[in-house]
Structure formats: C-alpha cells, structure tokens
C-alpha cells in the first residue's frame, strides 16, 4: 500500500523479530531482506526463480525470494540463514556443510542449505533421493562442490537417523 507520502510501513517477522519496512508492497522479498534489513546471507542470483540462491523459509517452507512479493509474506514467519538459531535445522545443515567444506564460490550454498533444512524439519523424514530431486528442481550450482555437498547431506542424514 502506498500513501501520499510514499510506501506505507509493512510488518514482517524475520528471524523471530518483528520488523517494519517502508517498501513497495510488490517489491521482491529478496530486495527487502538485503537492501532494507541488511541480511546478506540471502544471495541474489538469477532473479527469475530458477537458481535457488535466494531461498529462505516462510512459515517453515523453502521459498525463493526473488519471485516472492513483499505483500505475500506480511505477518508470516520468515527465517533466513543469517538468523540460524543454535540447534535449529538450518544450523545443523550449515554445520554439516562447514564440516565437509561443501562450498566453493558460496553463491548457491546458502539457498541449498535452506532447502535441505526445510525438508529435514518437515513432518516426514525425507530420504536422500527425495532431497536430491528437490535440489535438482530448485537449485543451480556450477562450482563443482557437489561431491562435498552430498557428503554433507549423507552426514546429516546419518546423524538424523541416529
């Protein structure tokens, strides 16, 4: 909503904190997270919803922020990699990736971590095949860190099963 004086404040819940931003309600969530809130862990990639670099959780579900308008997340719970609480699914996946050094350029990895965390935190325990299918559909990585990412995924699934 825009007033005569410019954009009206919009309330968001980001990483457990209530935040107010003054932005166009049709602005991509990505630009608000990075430019208005300074959360740079959410990466800018293709800007077309194809690469997955900008993935965050909205109400626990992995969402690509470059194609998500701000109005659609008003009042909903948004979690970014920047706000990963100790012991959370995001932190557990991030730690497995760090242990396996599962990043090279680092551009896609935050979005991949967010997608995996969303899947393992869901109501049904996903198997490796399902996770790989989802990653294949939603993420693009060209740096060659795939073998280390798969080792991190295997480590995480083994820890989750134990």
Alpha-carbon separation of residue 89 from 9, 11, 17, 71, 122 (angstroms): 31, 25, 18, 27, 10
Instruction: Please say if the pLDDT value at position 6 is more than 90.
Output: no
What stretch(es) of the chain map to CATH 1.10.150.120? 89-161
CA 88, 89, 92, 95 torsion-angle sign = negative
**What integer pLDDT is reported at residue 5 of this predicted model?**
59
- DSSP class per residue in 108-127: THHHHHHHHHHHHTSSSPPP
- Architecture of 89-161 per CATH? Orthogonal Bundle (1.10)
Q: DSSP H helical segments within the chain, as ranges? A: 29-31, 89-99, 109-120, 128-138, 146-161
Sheet holding 17-22, edge to edge: 17-22, 9-14, 77-79, 55-58, 61-64
CA 71, 88, 135, 61 torsion-angle sign = negative
**What integer pLDDT is reported at residue 107 of this predicted model?**
85
- Architecture of 2-83 per CATH? Roll (3.10)
**What integer pLDDT is reported at residue 4 of this predicted model?**
55
Q: What is the pLDDT of residues 97-156, one digit of tens each?
A: 999 999 888 889 999 999 999 999 988 889 999 999 999 999 988 888 889 999 999 999
Classify strands 77-79 and 9-14 as parallel, antiparallel or unpaired.
parallel
Distance CA 33, CA 30 (A): 5
**What integer pLDDT is reported at residue 65 of this predicted model?**
98
Unique residue bearing structure tokens 């080792």: 151
- Chain-centroid distance of CA 112 in Å reads 7
What stretch(es) of the chain map to CATH 3.10.20.30? 2-83
**What integer pLDDT is reported at residue 106 of this predicted model?**
82
Q: What is the pLDDT of residues 17-57, one digit of tens each?
A: 999 999 999 999 999 999 999 999 999 999 999 999 999 99
């Amino acid at each position: 909503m825009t007033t005569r004086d410019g954009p009206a404040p919009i309330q968001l819940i980001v990483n457990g904190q209530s935040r107010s931003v003054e932005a166009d309600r049709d602005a991509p969530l990505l630009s608000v997270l990075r430019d208005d809130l300074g959360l740079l862990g959410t990466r800018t990639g293709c800007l077309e919803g194809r690469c997955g670099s900008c993935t965050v959780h909205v109400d626990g579900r992995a969402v690509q922020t470059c194609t998500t308008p701000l109005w659609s997340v008003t009042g909903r719970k948004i979690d970014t990699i920047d706000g990963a609480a100790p012991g959370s699914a995001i932190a557990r996946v991030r730690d497995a990736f760090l242990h396996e050094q599962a990043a090279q350029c680092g551009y896609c990895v935050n979005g991949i971590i967010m997608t995996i965390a969303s899947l393992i935190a869901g109501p049904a325990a996903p198997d490796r095949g399902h996770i790989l299918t989802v990653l294949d559909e939603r993420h693009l990585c060209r740096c060659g860190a795939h073998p280390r990412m798969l080792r991190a995924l295997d480590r995480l699934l083994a820890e989750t099963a134990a």
